[in-house]
Structure 1
Amino acid sequence: MNVKITSVAKQLPRFTRTTEEIIPYLKGWLSGQEERFQRKVIKIFENAGVDKRYSIMDAHEVFSNTSFEEKNDIYVKESIKLAEAALQKALQKAALNPADIDYIITVSCTGIMIPSLDAYLINKLKMRRDIVRLPVTEMGCAAGVSGIIYAENFLKANPGKRAAVIAVESPTATFQLDDFSMVNIVSAAIFGDGAACVILSSHQDDKGPEILDKAMYHFYNAETMMGFKLTNTGLQMILDKSVPEKIAEHFPKIVHPFLEKNNLTIAAVNHLIFHPGGKKIVQTIDTLFGSLGKNIEDTKEVLTLYGNMSSATVLYVLERFMDKNLPKGDIGLMLSFGPGFSAQRILLEW
């Protein structure tokens, strides 16, 4: 009995700005900096491969002197709204009710809330009192795939059950106003906010692509490559510029043995569902898969349209494939990377 993904739905925050619209705010923030540095930063934004970013805050709030407490309060309030809307959409797509969910996983790394997001959703939607909860907070960009892996483990052990995985992220709430480092600037250029929900099922009659296999891959001694540092002004991004190189170095070990274990080669994979971490990472993966005769066009489009929304982003890519009514028997490979440093993989069959 294989677990199936029955629906995926995204939910975008209410504020949005194109890169062109953000530039004036950027110039205001950079006033007082050297002109050459200002031109460099603006070029980073213009060349980030992101046309539009969504946010839980309007641009003037992002670039204003807001305390960590104030930003986190906004994160909590808006996360609940986004998560509820994403869950309701996914339930509607699957023709289910909130009471049909046995297991709820919420993933987020861009704010802090206790009780966790799932508790609010259970109360708002009157979900079952015996629902099993799992909040995941420190997996970063990999958590969308990680959440599906955790849900699959639960459902495989419990036939006839359903799970919801909800990812809500607000990287714009982690922007550091007084930090003019390249890490803070590049992060602001590539990240945006968003939410998504995946419904999974081990009910025999439920429809959707089946999870054939899943696996995690840990990079040794790479804890400092990506993550957050908690400071007095909030969550400060950690992002090593060597990430694309490390991914390329480990790529053969991540992809090929996983497929071989399932008696497959990359040639048998019809669809690549990859987390778009940023322009350089996407270019690296595009080159690696391109050399094998594959493309990641949907991944590239998601980055262009929304930016990197951390754990939610790969679910936006997955939704595009779920909405295509793909032929029975098609194989899909999901792949994401996150703090640790680690890679998460899922093999799907339609």
Structure 2
Amino acid sequence: MTALEILGLGTALPVHNISQQAASVFAASCVKTDSDEQRNLPALIQALYRRAGVRQRHSVLLESSSEGEATAERFYRFAADASDRGPSTAERMQRYEIEAPPLAARAAAAAIEQSGISPAEITHLVTVSCSGFSAPGFDLLLIEQLGLADSVARTHVGFMGCHGALNGLRVAHAFAAADPHAVILVCALELCTLHHQYGWDPQKIVANSLFADGAA
């Protein structure tokens, strides 16, 4: 069996973060109901957020923050009524197309630097994401921004959820096993805060309370 080795690791987070308590206050503003439950919603949402076991999260949507308190965010609006579902899918994907490449590039550049390998030596690029898509994808922009060879073989693993990165590593393993000279860069990126769900649905509120943005 061909020996495999991980030569470098890199991670990247958006600059600004929000505390879980502040995030719960924001989440309550995205929920409206037509019943008497409305007055109890903030307390219920805060309880769900407290039980998530998260202290703070980073988001590409935050324009500034101070000690975990978000001070500027203009993507989401307060829910107008119970039918309001916030930004459209197209709006969320447009923001993904803007925010994904630079965050992915930061993580990938850190991994390349730690490895001591020249970007031109990389033969394969495997990207992973389930929180957005664009055509061309952020893999092409990574090739340009990192200075990878034009001949690099690229593969994107999309819409495979929380285990997507593991599938990306399986793809990289297959490439390395097939070619002992392969040098593979794997980059997984998720921008989950682009998909904050409006409305009173406990399962969606739990999902809102858990996930955030980052790349590795």
The normalised TM-score by structure 1 is 0.53
- 1:63 maps to a residue whose letter is Y
1:293-315 CA deviation, whole Å, 9 max, x = no partner? xxxxxxxxxxxxxxxxxxxxxxx
Contact 2:21–2:49 (8 Å) recurs in 1:
no
What residue in structure 2 maps to residue 155 of structure 1?
176
Q: Does the Cα contact within 8 Å between 2:24 and 2:45 map onto a contact in 1?
A: no
- Quick check: 1:84–1:121 contact (8 Å CA) kept in 2? yes
| CA root-mean-square deviation | 1.7
**Aligned twin of 1:57:** 61
Structure 1 gap ranges (5+): 197-350
Identity %: 27
**1:69 counterpart = 2:69:** no
The alignment status of 1:181 with 2:194, answered yes or no, reads no
The CA deviation string for residues 100-127 of structure 1, in whole angstroms up to 9 with x for no partner, is 1100000001011111221111122231
Inter-CA distance 27–138: structure 2 relative to 1 (3 Å threshold):
closer
One-letter identity of the residue aligned with 2:178: A
Deviation, 1:96, is 1.6
In structure 2, how many angstroms separate the alpha carbons of the residues matched to 1:14 and 1:68?
A: 24
Counterpart residue number, 1:42 = 46
Rounded to whole Å, the distance in 2 between the matches of 1:142 and 1:2 is: 24
Answer whether contact 1:30 1:38 (CA < 8 A) is retained.
no
CA drift of 1:34 comes to 2.3
Q: Which residue of 1 aligns with 2:104?
A: 83
Conserved in 2, the CA contact under 8 Å of 1:19 and 1:50?
A: yes
1:131 — aligned with what? 152
Distance 1:183 1:61 in 2: 25
Amino acid at match of 1:113: S
3-state SS of 1:5 partner: coil
Deviation at 1:22, TM superposition (A): 1.9
1:56 and 1:75 in contact (8 A); partners too? no
Larger CA deviation: 157-166 vs 27-36: 27-36
Runs of 5+ consecutive residues of structure 2 not aligned to the other structure: 63-69, 78-85
Secondary structure of the corresponding residue to residue 8 of structure 1 = coil
Letter in 2 for 1:151: A
1:78-227 pair list within 5 angstroms: 78-177=99-198, 179-196=199-216
> Per-residue deviation at 1:14?
2.1
CA contact (8 A) 1:9 1:89 kept: yes
Please tell me whether the aligned partners of residues 25 and 63 of structure 1 are also in contact (alpha carbons under 8 angstroms): no
In 2, the alpha carbon distance for the partners of 1:75 and 1:7 equals 26
Going from structure 1 to structure 2, the CA distance change for 1:188 and 1:12 (only over 3 Å counts) comes to same
Tell me which residue corresponds to 2:67: none
For these two proteins, the number of residue pairs brought into alignment is: 195
Alpha-carbon contact 2:16-2:59 (below 8 Å) kept: yes
Q: CA deviation at 1:183?
A: 2.0
Cα distance, 1:62 vs structure 2:
5.2
TM-superposition CA deviations, 1:227-272 (whole Å, max 9, x none): xxxxxxxxxxxxxxxxxxxxxxxxxxxxxxxxxxxxxxxxxxxxxx
Q: Distance in 1 between matches of 2:3 and 2:205?
A: 43
8 Å CA contact retained: 1:86, 1:166? yes
Contact 1:62 1:172 in 2 (8 A): no
* Contact 1:56 1:74 survives alignment (8 Å): no
TM-score, normalised via structure 2 length: 0.84
| Aligned mates of 1:148, 1:66 — CA distance in 2 | 33
